[in-house]
Amino acid sequence: MAKELDVQLHPAQLEIFNSTARFKVVSAGRRFGKSRLAAWILIIKALQSESKDVFYIGPTFQQAKDIMWNMLKELLHGTDLIETTHENTATMKLVNGRRISLKGSDRPDTLRGVGLAYVVLDEYASMKVEVWEQIIRPTLSDVKGGALFIGTPAGKNHFYDLYLEAEKDKDWEAFQYTSIDNPLIDPKEVEVAKRTMSTQAFRQEFEASFVSFTGGIFKNEWIKYDENEPEEGNFVIAVDPAGFEAVEKERGLKGSKLDETAISIVKIHGDKWWVKDILHGRWNIKETASKILQAAIENQATTVGIESGALKNAILPYLQDEMRTQGRWVVITDVTHGGKKKADRITWALQGRLEHGKITFNRNTNWNGELETQLIEFPSKGTHDDIIDSLAYIDQVSVADFMHTIELEEEWTPYDDVAGY
């Protein structure tokens, strides 16, 4: 069957494909070819199954569909092996009556009550362990079905634990490959990534190492100061709002427990950041709106990013009133946590840049001490992280700023994504 389908895999992929282990755990670097390998295994297992279907499960249904749907159609194009496809449910029925269905681990109810011949769990590190242990594992019992766990490590979590267990159990096999084990990857591209990423991030993302991102994430020697503003570049602003008693009372929080709002003012020049100032404090909503606009006006910031949510929604009406009153306008864009934990988001945005000297800080400020404390003690439950959280959002704001490609005039071109002005 594989020969008829002209299964094309590189040598490292073939080692996994040809393994006879019932359960396989694959830790691999980015661009290794995990998805193509998974697609071929799904197709072969579905065609070999006499009575049960196969599942591909991603962290979310949309992610699963984005990664695998077109891949399956591409590999089966022109084979006459597809009987029907259903785009909405991302289900493909093959000529032998078996179905390949794409699912999301975030919708566990869609995974229950079925018997399966095989299942692929992609980016297992991003799933709850209960998805496998309580829901998927029982579905394989009827026909002694198998499973493939694939992903790039995300610290030493349940994916790491499963990998260690797979090394010991005779029904399991563990595999670990780097990105460069894919012969189609240009080694120069990997070297570029190594020069721009933090050591820990590179080891995790490209070398598939189970690196623990706890303690010592930011080193004191990475914190560089330069009071001289770069001549080239443009300013952007990121806001991590907090501390509005009127809003937080509705959520049952007491004022003494409120975090500070932080406003990072950063000049982007090439691939580097010069941090001019980070305003922080506990202000009311109107004061916060005023400080945001004043910072934007003084620095001619081309884009302001504000963390989306109830607090941003509280700020916007006041910010829009301020802009109308002063006749000055700025692009407002959403920044989000993107489904990541705060510690992970801050680490990914700042660690590599700081390690490689891509971020420098203005020395003529009164926030340097608090900045250093938050960086060196991060992550710590006893230390606030408002300043570095807002700074991390500059990563998203700089991308949004580039996409807007606004040409500023002396009087500042009026435009606001949210208000539509």
What are the structure tokens assigned to 169, written together?
A: 């159990």
What are the structure tokens assigned to 49, written together?
A: 């199954």
> What's the CATH number where 147 sits?
3.40.50.300
Residue 250 sits in the same domain as residue 164: no
User: Is residue 46 situated within a structural domain?
Assistant: yes
CA distance 92 to 83: 8
User: Is residue 212 situated within a structural domain?
Assistant: no
Residue 162 sits in the same domain as residue 138: yes
What residues pair up with 119 in beta bridges, in sequence order? 55, 147
How do 23-28 and 172-177 pair as beta strands?
parallel
The stretches in the chain having pLDDT less than 50 are 1-3, 246-257, 405-421
pLDDT of residue 71: 93
CA distance 350 to 389: 10
What are the structure tokens assigned to 348, written together?
A: 């990914």
Residue 51 sits in the same domain as residue 10: yes
Residue 237 sits in the same domain as residue 182: no
Considering 205, 230, 263, which residue would you say is the last residue of a domain?
205
- pLDDT 10s digits, 166-219: 998 999 999 999 999 999 999 888 888 887 777 778 888 898 888 765 557 888
User: Is residue 410 situated within a structural domain?
Assistant: no
Considering 141, 172, 205, which residue would you say is the last residue of a domain?
205
> What's the CATH number where 282 sits?
3.30.420.240
E strand or H helix that includes residue 390: helix 386-392
pTM of the predicted model as reported, rounded to 2 decimal places: 0.60
Q: What is the four-CA torsion angle of 395, 306, 368, 356, rounded to 10 degrees?
A: 0
Say if residues 271 and 237 touch (Cβ distance below 8 Å): no
User: Is residue 350 situated within a structural domain?
Assistant: yes
- Report residue 82: phi and psi, to 5°: -95, 125
CA 18 to chain CA centroid, Å, is 32
E strand or H helix that includes residue 303: strand 303-307
Residue 250 sits in the same domain as residue 392: yes
User: Is residue 270 situated within a structural domain?
Assistant: yes
Domain tally for the chain?
2
E strand or H helix that includes residue 3: helix 2-5
Q: What is the four-CA torsion angle of 197, 128, 25, 152, rounded to 10 degrees?
A: -10
pLDDT of residue 341: 79
Say if residues 102 and 70 touch (Cβ distance below 8 Å): no
CA distance 242 to 92: 47
User: Is residue 210 situated within a structural domain?
Assistant: no
How do 53-58 and 99-104 pair as beta strands?
parallel
CA distance 355 to 353: 6
pLDDT of residue 214: 58
Residue 91 sits in the same domain as residue 229: no
What are the structure tokens assigned to 46, written together?
A: 């579905």
Q: What is the four-CA torsion angle of 176, 151, 192, 405, rounded to 10 degrees?
A: 180
CA distance 6 to 190: 29
Residue ranges making up the domain that contains 373: 220-404
Residue 246 sits in the same domain as residue 134: no
User: Is residue 65 situated within a structural domain?
Assistant: yes
Considering 177, 205, 233, which residue would you say is the last residue of a domain?
205
pLDDT of residue 414: 35
The amino acid sitting at 217 is I
Residue 326 sits in the same domain as residue 251: yes
Residue 201 sits in the same domain as residue 260: no
pLDDT of residue 418: 34
Residue partners of 175: CB distance under 8 A and separation at least 6? 15, 16, 19, 24, 25, 26, 27, 28
CA distance 50 to 189: 44
Helix axes 11-18, 34-48, angle to 10 degrees: 30
Residue 134 sits in the same domain as residue 247: no
Residue 61 sits in the same domain as residue 96: yes
pLDDT of residue 229: 95
What residues pair up with 265 in beta bridges, in sequence order? 237, 277
User: Is residue 108 situated within a structural domain?
Assistant: yes
- Length of the chain measured in residues: 421
Residue 249 sits in the same domain as residue 285: yes
